Amino acid sequence: MLDTLDTYLIDEFTDEAKGIAFDTCHKIYILMDNEQVDLMREYGYGDANDPDSLLTSYQLTPREMSNKVVEWFHGSCGLRFISAVYSDERGFVDVVSQFEGNGYDEDEDEDL
């Protein structure tokens, strides 16, 4: 479960984000610049097979992106995490670290 600080941080990052991406399992990215949006497209996010795995600031408001990130988080597996991604020296920034506050149970994911 995300706590108030987690949702605050998600809101802070999505206020400036150019997009969000989800691998439909546990990797959730807040894309902080257009270069990251383009890179995720190259990786196949948002393609015809799963167009909703990459959503941009042209499609959603910051509040809608934040709500979608929270929705993805609650629907993902126990390995879930949320990272903000920059193309500059900041790189990957943990917003919600893997296993942080999500009630992860190792036995639940034994087969992974």
| 104 within domain boundaries | no
| 105 within domain boundaries | no
Structure confidence at residue 101 (pLDDT): 58
Which carries the bigger pLDDT value, residue 54 or residue 99?
54
| 33 within domain boundaries | yes
Q: By the 8 A CB rule, do 86 and 16 touch?
A: no
* Total tally of structural domains belonging to the chain: 1
Nearest to 17 by CA among 2, 29, 5, 27: 29
Whole-number Å distance between alpha carbons of 16 and 101: 25
What residue numbers bound the domain in which 56 lies?
A: 4-99
Q: By the 8 A CB rule, do 88 and 32 touch?
A: no
The four Cα atoms 57, 58, 63, 64 give a dihedral, to 10 degrees, of -110
| 78 within domain boundaries | yes
Q: What is the pLDDT of residues 53-96, one digit of tens each?
A: 999 999 999 999 999 999 999 999 999 999 999 999 999 999 99
| 76 within domain boundaries | yes
Taking residue 60's Cβ as centre, other Cβ atoms within 10 Å add up to 17
Structure confidence at residue 108 (pLDDT): 46
| 110 within domain boundaries | no
Q: What is the pLDDT of residues 22-53, one digit of tens each?
A: 999 999 999 999 999 999 999 999 999 889 99
Instruction: Reply yes or no on whether the pLDDT at 11 is more than 90.
Output: yes
